[in-house]
Amino acid sequence: MQINQPLQIQDGPNAGKWHYTQSNSTGTYAIGYCSRIQSCPDCLEMHSSWGTWTGQDKEGLRRLLEEYKFKHPEAKVWWCETCDMSRIKKLTDEEACPGHDTAEEARKHYRQYLVDTKFNFHDREDVQEKCQICNVWTNRVVDFVGEWGRSWILCPEHATKETLQRIYVDKELE
């Protein structure tokens, strides 16, 4: 079981500030933009189709990429020098989120992370519903990859990051 929620920082120079966190059997840690570990910005797009990569066997991945380039010379595949294929970037103290003054600010920061990095839309073939913004019939669903229970019915015109920002982060349309 995991619980995602804002929690106050207990010690250190930012004690009393808030981070958005995840608690599970391995402990409690900051997630989203509050985390000190972020996806590598230089290779995030490149590896999205490769699935989960732990970074354990870099030589194995290097061989896999070479084989892929041989079979598909038209493909844009390269070795990321920024993170050396670990797919993560560890933030310095200056880069890391210092915390938020309120739990709601931490929650909003996590929502912004979801909109920026996990935004997804797909068309359902079996159902049509009215767009939650303009009431036009549509089969488009907008949700976040890996996040259960958060989805919106939005027509193609409104199935945008900007609309999701207004609905979910800024809470303008409730």
Tens digits of residue pLDDT in 41-92: 666 544 444 444 444 455 666 666 666 666 666 665 556 666 766 667 778 8
Binning pLDDT at 50, 70 and 90, where does residue 158 land? very high
Arithmetic mean of pLDDT, 101-111: 95
Task: Supply 125's token pair.
Answer: 């073939």
Question: Which of 16-20, 50-54, 168-172 has the largest mean confidence?
Answer: 16-20
Task: Supply 61's token pair.
Answer: 């991945």
Arithmetic mean of pLDDT, 81-110: 84
Where do the structural domains in the chain lie, given as residue ranges?
A: 3-36+91-112, 39-89, 118-169
Arithmetic mean of pLDDT, 136-165: 87
Contact indicator for 3, 20 with CB cutoff of 8 Å: no
> Please, what is the average pLDDT of the chain?
80
Q: In the chain, which residue ranges form alpha helices assigned H by DSSP?
A: 44-47, 58-71, 103-117, 161-164
Instruction: Give me the pLDDT at residue 53, please.
Output: 43
Instruction: Give me the pLDDT at residue 143, please.
Output: 85
Buried b (16+ CB within 10 A) or exposed e, 114-142: bbeeebeeeeeeeeeeebbbeeeebebbb
More confident residue, 70 or 30: 30
Instruction: Give me the pLDDT at residue 128, please.
Output: 93
Instruction: Give me the pLDDT at residue 74, please.
Output: 65
| CA-derived radius of gyration, the chain | 19
